[in-house]
Amino acid sequence: MSWVIIAIVAALLLFIIYIYNSLVRSKVRVDEAWSDITVQLKRRYDLIPNLVETVKGYAKHERQVFTEVTKARTEALKAKTVGEAAQADNMFQAALKSLFAVAEAYPQLRATENFQQLQSDVTDTEDKIQAARRFYNGAVRDLNIRIQTFPNNIFASMLGFRLREFFDVEENQRQEVSQPVKVDFSDTK
């Protein structure tokens, strides 16, 4: 009889260890994915001052666009949580679209090798950010499913695991991000 109880306790203990280890693996994947996003965002934010300075030389009267890009970059660098980072990233993407729209109005700027290289680097970085976001959101989905499904849900909160936040575009910003930027040069001199 005592062997049966010992076997049941051992099986339960092994089961809890299995659940814990699977949750840890999922959490580490989420942390790794978040690290990939932050690396790419930092790369992007390091490229932007060079891009802004290049465009400034040609479009001196577009101060508002440069101010918005600088403000968006500052907010993005201050973000502490996934939600703050996503909101700052959405604001930054809109400002970046405005900057590229301004650059489109200056053919001589677009023809410079420096601008073309910077634009190519930013485009490459944007692609990497999107891939990192998809990987992160997939890892968060997997972790959240593990935390919420039975029997893991019984042990997950006791073991200190919490649901993670997706890196997503806020509903009120979805339309803003998907709309083309409108640039008005009627005030230019």
Domain membership of residue 183 (yes or no) is no
Domain membership of residue 154 (yes or no) is yes
Domain membership of residue 189 (yes or no) is no
Domain membership of residue 1 (yes or no) is no
CATH number of the domain residue 158 falls in: 1.20.1440.20
When divided into structural domains, the chain yields a total of 1
Domain membership of residue 186 (yes or no) is no
**pLDDT tens digits in sequence order for the chain, 189 residues long:** 799 999 999 999 999 999 999 999 999 999 999 999 999 989 988 888 888 888 877 776 677 788 888 888 888 888 888 888 888 888 888 888 888 888 888 777 777 788 888 888 988 998 999 999 999 999 999 999 999 999 999 999 999 999 999 998 665 454 454 555 444 434 444
Domain membership of residue 5 (yes or no) is no
Cα distance between residue 89 and residue 104, in whole Å: 22
The per-residue DSSP string of the chain comes to -HHHHHHHHHHHHHHHHHHHHHHHHHHHHHHHHHHHHHHHHHHHHHHHHHHHHHHHTT-TT-HHHHHHHHHHHHHHHH--SHHHHHHHHHHHHHHHHHHHHHHHT-HHHHHSHHHHHHHHHHHHHHHHHHHHHHHHHHHHHHHHHHHHSTTHHHHHTTTT----------HHHHHHHHSPPP---TT--
Domain membership of residue 188 (yes or no) is no
CB half-sphere exposure, 163, CA atoms < 13 A: 8
pTM of the model: 0.74
- Domain that includes residue 117, residue range: 10-178
Domain membership of residue 82 (yes or no) is yes
